[in-house]
Structure formats: structure tokens, C-alpha cells
Amino acid sequence: MPVSPAYAPDPRFFGLGEDYGDAVRAADFPQTTLRVRNDRAAAAVGLETLTDAEWIAHFGRFEPLPGQTGPIAMRYHGHQFRTYNPDLGDGRGFLAAQMRDDRGRLLDLGTKGSGQTPWSRSGDGRLTLKGGVREVLAAEMLEAQGVPTSRAFSLIETGENLERGDEPSPTRSSVLVRLSHSHIRFGTFQRAAYLARADMVEALIEHARSLYHPTVAAGDAPGFLRAVVEASARLTARWIAAGFVHGVLNTDNLNVTGESFDYGPWRFLPHYEPGFTAAYFDQTGLYAFARQPEAVFWALTQLGGALKTVAEAEPLTEALNSFGPAYIRELRTAFLARLGVQSLGEAADQRLLDTTLALLREGGEAVRWEPLFFDWFGGFASSARALQGPRGKLYQGETFDAFRFALFEHAPDRPERLEAPMFALAEPE
């Protein structure tokens, strides 16, 4: 197999032992048709030289990559809509491989739709092609907007007819491979605590700390929690700035590296709507757009609860309390990035954040989320483009005065980006 010399297998999770996962085999699919291969992501881990046939062999039939030990279905628990479920685990996916990227960071190749596992319960272990395409679209859009996210590595259609209650059936099947820094979830720690296995909690902390948060000292559970809190605050702020609604912020869908992953019923806001939900089954709006910071913080408190198995409550609480300030700080940074302008310091940055959010709230359906950031990207350097565009008359109203004044205080960040062809268009694509 012509892997690049840059390919560096390093299956670290597999070394934790049998308490954390189960060896599994992929389904034997009747058909394997390549639909998406992410060569940019593959180049980062030395797999871009694979032929399409080799790609299908490894990511459709799951023949092991060199230096890997075989698929493992990870064990974890989790709160699903705040109800604890001890019967979770990888039910239609597995950890297929781990390797170092071109910056020396450990990365996972994880699957979705690769067949049944001991944790499938009543599920068939499959993924619809529609669901796979939605995963690709979400990951690509969020990556483009600077949101920490897993990357859609591969999508292969698998030739089966699936029955689903939430889309027209029979529907086509697929298997997805995602590239992510970690698939260790909050629920991975919850399971260890549920089993009263302090040794497992300690092993997980050391494993995740050393690989993903190496600046934290060995044995420092509160320090590890604080690192996860800060990464999660950054992720949540980027979701909000992107107008993104994940939809299912259960503790088994949040990981210790602060990366967005497992895209199911996600949606993007058309305009500001705090109660906007992505999942049809979220009937109470628990995971609505504006409640996502609350949801992530609640999930972090469950992680903190699991860590009480090995640490005192007070320093863990202090670590959790860092979420609010970290989230606001990251939200300022995220909105500056979306508007393409430079920081002027905390006070001016906060003023711009406040006026932007006020505009989005008060503007209602007239102020569409994505067009606003597209039109005004670069601040005053884009004023002529914005005012002469299809929404120019809207922007000349008094409602926009405070926003424009706050925005124009900030110099454009890397204004050469405004030369990109997309900014010659009337609408974002």
C-alpha cells in the first residue's frame, strides 16, 4: 500500500485495555461506491497517496491500515436529554485507527454506519446516505468558519436499503469515516465513575491529559477539567457565532478536546431566534440555539461529578466556574473573526459584540444571520460593498447606526482576504 512516509500510526487508546472498548468487525456491505474522499485531510495524516481502490478497501471494507490493531467499539455512558443511560457505547461505529498528523498531534479515524456492535441495542448499525451527506456538509461549513470540528474524511455508499421513521424509506445506506483529535467523551468518564472504578477514572485522566492537554500536570484532575472547560467554552462560542445548532448535546456527544462531532439533526439559523431547535424530538427546546451554553455547562458539571471519584469537590467547582468568563472571552474573539476585524481590547471588543447581538435580536427576520457577516466582513473596508448590495437600503436605517459605529472602530484583519472572488458576489455561497 503506497502510504506516504508521513504516515505515523500510533494506536494509543487501544493500549488502555479491555475495560474501555470491545474488538469488533465491520459489516460486510454488498456494495462500496466512493462518494467523498477528503484528500486535504488525508494529506495531514499521510494517506493521500491511496488509490481509490485502496481507499475503499480501508474505509469501506475496513481492512486494517498498517500499524493499527483493529476496530474497537468504545464503551461509554451518558445523559441523553438529562436522563442517565448506562446502556450506551459505540452502537454503529468504532475507533478504526489512530495516527499522528503533520504537526505531531494524535488523530482518530472513527466510523459511523459501519455495522452492529455489542452496544447496538435494537439498532441496525447503519447510516443513511442522507445522514452521511449531512455530516459532510456540517463539518465542511464549520471548519470554514473556524469552528473546532471533526472532519469528514470519507463517505462510501454501501448498497443497502434502510428503513427509517424520520425520512422516506427505503433509503440508501452509507458508511462515514471522520477524522478527529479524540472520541473520548464526557460519558467515557461517567461510565468509569458509575462503575465506581477510580482506577479507570485516573487512567482516563492521565491518558487524555498527556495526549490532548499536556500543559496540565500529571495527577491534576481539576487542572484537566479546567482545560476541558476552556476548550468547550471556545467550541460553544464558535457555534453561537456561526449561528449553528448542534441539536443533541448529550454527554456522549461532547468530547474532551472541545471538537464538534456526530452531526445528526443540526441546523443553521436563518436569523436570530433563541428558541430555534434542530431536532424534531427536542420538544422542550432543551438544546435550542440560545440554550447551548447552558447545555454545555450542564454537561461539564456531569464530567466534574465523575471526576469527584478521584478529586475534591472544591477545586473541581472552581474549574467549572471558569466556563462563564471563558465563554464570554471566546465569544468576543469568535465575533471578531466572523466580522473580519482586529481586536481593540476588551472594552471595544465587548461593545462590538453587544451591538452586533442587539442588532441581530432587534432586527428579526429582516436581518439574516449569514448575509450580515458576509456583507460586513472586513468592517469599514466593506462599507461600500454592503451599502451598494441587495441589502443596502436596510443597512442605512437607524437600527444599524450603533453597529456601524462600533464596527468601524476596528481595523480590518488581513484585508487582502476581501480580494477573494466570493466577495464579488451579492450573496454568500
| Grid cell at residue 358 | 442587539
Helices (H) and strands (E) in the chain, counts: 14, 13
Residues facing residue 209 across a β-bridge: none
Q: What stretch of H or E contains 172?
A: strand 171-180
User: 298 and 82 in contact (C-beta within 8 Å)?
Assistant: yes
Q: Which of 90, 108, 252, 282 is catalytic?
A: 252
Burial 164-202 (b: 16+ CB within 10 A, else e): eeeeeeebbbbbbbbbbbbbbbbbbbbbbbeeeeeebbb
Contact 111, 131 (CB under 8 A): no
DSSP-assigned beta bridge partners for residue 21: 74
What's the rounded Cα separation, in Å, for the pair 417 and 203?
Answer: 45
Q: Which residue has the cell 494524535?
A: 106
Residue 252 a catalytic site member? yes
Q: In whole angstroms, what is the distance from residue 252 CA to residue 89 CA?
A: 8
Grid cell, residue 376, equals: 460586513
Q: H-helix or E-strand containing 173? A: strand 171-180
DSSP 66: T
Query: Which residues are annotated as catalytic?
Result: 252
